[in-house]
Amino acid sequence: MCPTEPDFTILQLYNSDGQQLEAFRPRRKDTVQMYCCGPTVYGYAHIGNLRAYTVQDILRRCLLALGYRLNHVLNITDVGHLTDDGNDKMLLSASAKGKSVRDIADYYTDAFFRDCAASHIAKPEIICRATDHIADMQELIARLEASGYTYYSNGNLYFDTGKLGDYGRLAGLSQIQEEEVLSRTGTDSAKKNQRDFVLWFSNGKFADQAMQWDSPWGRGYPGWHIECSAMAGRFLGAQIDIHCGGVDHKTVHHSNEIAQSESILAPDKKPWVKFWLHNEFVVMKEHSDVTDGNVGHKISKSSGAAITLSDLQDKGFSPLDYRYFLLGSHYRSQIQFHFQAMEGARKSRKRLQQKAGELQALCGKTPQLGNSTEHVAKLRSGEQKNPHMRGFLAALLQDLNTARGLASLWNAVKDNGLSPQEKFEALEFGESFLQIGLFEGAHTGAEEAEIPVSVPTPVPQEYLVLLARRDEARKSKDYTRADQLRNELSQAGYQIIDTAEGPILEKQNV
């Protein structure tokens, strides 16, 4: 093989544990065990959250195309974890809306998966709720206690990080940096070491805590970090191949998961996770005059910049416009969000979509988006010579470089040396991974059809009128008015759901 020829048998991934690119090989020859930190369902997912699940979706599509079987686990944190000021996020949301914690969890879990479906993010093989696995958490805590890694203080059971010589290796922090992180999270006089963390709360901050369970350490509830270790072990066994999450989890949450999980593994079975993958933030500038060198703040609920998918839709963007926007940057690079960039992504996706529709009409073919494994096999064997398909696959196998992959698709449609059939195959191949809606509908450059407004009954007529006005405002690009009308409907207890058939109203339960 020529030294510059890509090796289509190897997926290169950046492993945060070691901070370098490595050739990915699972522990078992043909099966990948993958765990991904899921949402805490106390509110709507924001667009920063959705970057993580989009990256994970690209990864799973690559693994499946390479012929691996996949056991992909996503957890739903419905117990809640603490805000920076020590309050329970689930309890706060439930109290504000006058609902039970379970009602809140169910409602926002459903909303999360609606956003995923609209964003073409495939469901994992296994979805597990924390409240269904309290017994697994208690069993793991008991094993840690029996092995001497815990201590009881001020009514709570703590993990003793002082027992570990390599605690925090994933974050790669110097002692000074670690002290800065700890200074931001505050101090706890009950801890032996400020890096220690609670495994089980029996003396929580809330006398009326809604979710509590009996345990050997008193009636209470689990710490956040034990949830992931317990559920990963329950569904994937003692060791896993890939663990994904946002870069903000490296310093505390994932470091604590490693501490818990590796403490119950024999030395010869470490590490617990073979590959750690972390995506960077989506960020917004705090002020319009901030220079490009200052990327601003990550999008989050706590920062007040919690833009949701519905917010984007109300401004005329498709969820797939946002997916295209995300895939235009490497997952390990921060993305600066602003609406001008979103408009650019929308126009670029529409142009590529139009090209796909024209090629589909020329070739008279229906795209087959489930045959990526077959295409990969032909690329590996050399039977498929299309240079842009080869470039696309090489890009994705080099640490999921979707930005380079998109460039390969654009190069394909502009390449006068390719036949329409070859261009169509390149876009078909790229769409099977990227899922940006290139072949959805007949896109030949004509004006988009009117979207009928369909509303399930019974809904009061006055709200149907507001919905119709909001639809008119969006079509005329009066997004301020569209936002106002959506807020009016929300205050009246209705949520707008934008579907392929048109917007509908759904009675909110929270």
Give dist(CA 217, CA 437) in Å, integer. 52
Q: Rounded CA gap, 168 and 262, in Å?
A: 12
Strand 282-284 to 297-298 pairing: antiparallel
Rounded-to-integer distance, Cα 467 and Cα 372, Å: 41
Strand partners, 502: 499
For the CA atoms of 49, 51, 57, 58, the dihedral, rounded to the nearest 10 degrees, stands at -170
DSSP 8-state class, residue 166:
S
Say whether 257 counts as a known binding-site residue.
yes
The DSSP annotation for 229-243 comes to: HHHHHHHH-S-EEEE
Helical residues (DSSP H) of 156-308, grouped into ranges: 175-185, 224-236, 253-263
* H-type alpha helices, 237-371: 253-263, 309-314, 319-327, 339-363
**Closest residue by Cα to residue 498 from 478, 476, 471, 472:** 471
Contact of 237 with 245, CB cutoff 8 Å? no
Residue 301 labeled ligand binder: yes
Q: Is position 253 annotated in a ligand binding site?
A: yes
Among candidate residues 427, 409, 411, the one with its CA nearest the CA of residue 362? 427
Greatest pairwise CA separation for the chain in angstroms: 73
Cβ atoms of 306 and 314 closer than 8 Å: no
148 Cβ contact partners less than 8 Å away, ≥ 6 residues apart: 163
Short-list 193, 192, 257, CA closest to 223? 257
Which residue(s) pair with 155 in the sheet?
A: none
DSSP string, 458-490: S--HHHHHHHHHHHHHHHTT-HHHHHHHHHHHH
Would you tell me the crossing angle of helices 47-65 and 101-118 to the nearest 10 degrees?
A: 60
Q: Which parts are annotated binding residues for Zn(2+)?
A: 37, 228, 253, 257
Q: Which parts are annotated binding residues for ATP?
A: 301
Q: Which parts are annotated binding residues?
A: 37, 228, 253, 257, 301
